[in-house]
Amino acid sequence: MTKRSSVAKEKKGGSAAPVKRQGAQPFNPLREVMWRRPGFLIRRLTQIGQALFFDLCKSESITPLQVGMLTALSMNPWLDQKAIGRELSLDRTTTAEVLKRLADKGLVETRVNPEDRRSRLSVITAEGLKLINDLQESILRSQELLIEPLPPEDREVFMKLLARLVDAHEKMERQLEQQEHPE
């Protein structure tokens, strides 16, 4: 029953006060505004996803971004920082900081690139591989739980739309970069 129909039925019964349904949220003007902003909802969903990750992975010592970097290095060993950043859509500073944290934990090894002494190459260590293998089930479950409130057919549509949106923005970004820095 909608709010409108419950109010109308209550008015017919002689009372002018709207019926308050159990579990109904009170009107919140800020929520009404914020929930129309995709950026806000995406940020909030990211927070929820990270909370699920930390809860299931039972570790505050590894972050989803660090797991992403370990995953990239497990599939492409000895990448340089620029390539890692490109793979994960990270800026140079963030890439360097995350790599340093992973190296400090013994999860990544970094060496000077023999072909370009200014560049650093990184590889996941045996300990890093063990960690992501141990966490694999929890990582997958956290991803499933994130979209589980959607019906199965909507999950597929949501993922396709999300990928299409990210892809479109990345294409626009590349076009702008090419216009600013033609080769």
95 CB-side CA count, 13 A? 21
67 CB-side CA count, 13 A? 21
User: In the structure, what pLDDT confidence band is assigned to residue 14 with cuts at 50, 70 and 90?
Assistant: very low
For residue 49, CA distances in Å to 53, 56, 139, 159, 175 come to 6, 11, 10, 14, 31
Token pair for 93: 């500073």
pLDDT tens, residue by residue, 55-111: 999 876 899 999 999 999 999 999 999 999 999 999 999 999 999 999 999 999 999
**Cβ of 122: how many Cβ atoms within 10 Å?**
24
Query: What whole-number distance in Å separates Cα of residue 133 and Cα of residue 72?
Result: 13
pTM for the whole structure = 0.76
Is 180 strand, coil or helix?
Answer: helix
